[in-house]
């Protein structure tokens, strides 16, 4: 039976290398998120916009920044797991199946979110306007 000390001694080099690689991945992840946020803000910010349009742009910025952040974090997480010799193909396949199941289950929610996003992009409704939908006003 192998004790913990002999296990650490035999795998010390690979453990240190994996930890170092994970640290580099985390550092690159943080840098990537900061750079992505700055790029999105710079591309979507204009000082000549009226106040209602600025609110719409802030909402779109928030959606884009959050989406990019989650994608970068997921890629970093999978990369770190791969550094520690964890089989990520099964994890990715499971995540795909889970995403598909959630997608079918939340189809109406996703449809509403996408519709709302396009309403913001196309400037169909302004903040403060009163609308009537299916007999409901607000």
Range of weakest confidence among 20-29, 44-53, 89-98: 44-53
Closest by CA to 108, choosing from 96, 120, 116, is: 116
Asked if 79 and 92 sit in the same domain, the reply is: no
pLDDT at residue 70 tops 60: yes
Q: At residue 48, what are phi and psi to the nearest 5 degrees?
A: -85, 0
Q: What is the pLDDT of residue 32?
A: 95
Asked if 108 and 76 sit in the same domain, the reply is: no
Asked if 80 and 16 sit in the same domain, the reply is: yes
Range of the domain at 107: 88-126
Question: Nearest 5 degrees, angle CA 69-CA 70-CA 72?
Answer: 65
Structural domains counted in the chain: 2
- CA 23 – CA 35 distance, rounded (Å): 18
Q: What is the pLDDT of residue 1?
A: 47
In a domain, 135, yes or no: no
CA 30, 36, 38, 40: dihedral to nearest 10 degrees?
-150
């Amino acid at each position: 039976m192998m004790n913990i000390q002999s296990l650490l001694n035999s795998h010390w080099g690979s453990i240190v290398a994996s930890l170092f690689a994970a640290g580099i991945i985390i550092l690159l992840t943080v840098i990537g998120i900061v750079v992505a946020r700055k790029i999105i803000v710079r591309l979507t910010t204009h000082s000549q916009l009226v106040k209602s349009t600025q609110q719409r742009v802030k909402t779109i910025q928030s959606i884009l920044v959050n989406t990019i952040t989650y994608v970068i974090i997921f890629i970093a997480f999978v990369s770190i797991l791969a550094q520690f010799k964890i089989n990520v193909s099964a994890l990715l396949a499971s995540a795909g199946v889970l995403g598909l199941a959630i997608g079918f289950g939340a189809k109406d929610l996703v449809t509403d979110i996408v519709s709302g996003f396009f309403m913001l992009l196309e400037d169909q409704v302004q903040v403060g306007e009163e609308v009537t939908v299916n007999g409901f006003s607000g």
